Amino acid sequence: MAAMPRHRPMRDLLAVLPKLTISSSGEVDYSASNPADLSALAEHAQDTMQVAQLGLSAIGLLLVRAAPEMDTGEISGDAIESLGWLMAELGELAGCCFALSASCREHLADATPRPP
């Protein structure tokens, strides 16, 4: 069985987002945001990405097993279409979380003083 995070990463990610400082252009102002919030956001975004990727993999495996039921019409085309939309959104979410986590970590690394 896959190792899943013990917390609720998507909920935790959404809870941290309003704490960030937003610039006048509507972008995250990483330098004005609290480093602890950026660190938490990076972790939650990474965990959310992992959950989305593991979930997509599991859905794919279920679809393979359900292929005979799709051929006989026991599973509706609407259900398959809905799964397709869900998988597309989860894939987009994983990509956005990757970029968000990387941006937070990059800013934290830049903000950390380096030893002489």
Domain ranges of the chain: 43-66+77-110
pTM over 0.85: no
What is the chain's length? 116
How far is it, in rounded angstroms, from Cα 34 to Cα 105?
13
For the chain, 116 residues long, give each residue's pLDDT as a single digit of tens: 566 656 899 999 999 999 999 999 999 999 999 999 999 999 999 999 999 999 999 999 998 888 887 788 888 888 888 999 999 999 999 999 999 999 999 999 987 665 65
How far is it, in rounded angstroms, from Cα 93 to Cα 14?
13
pLDDT of residue 53: 95
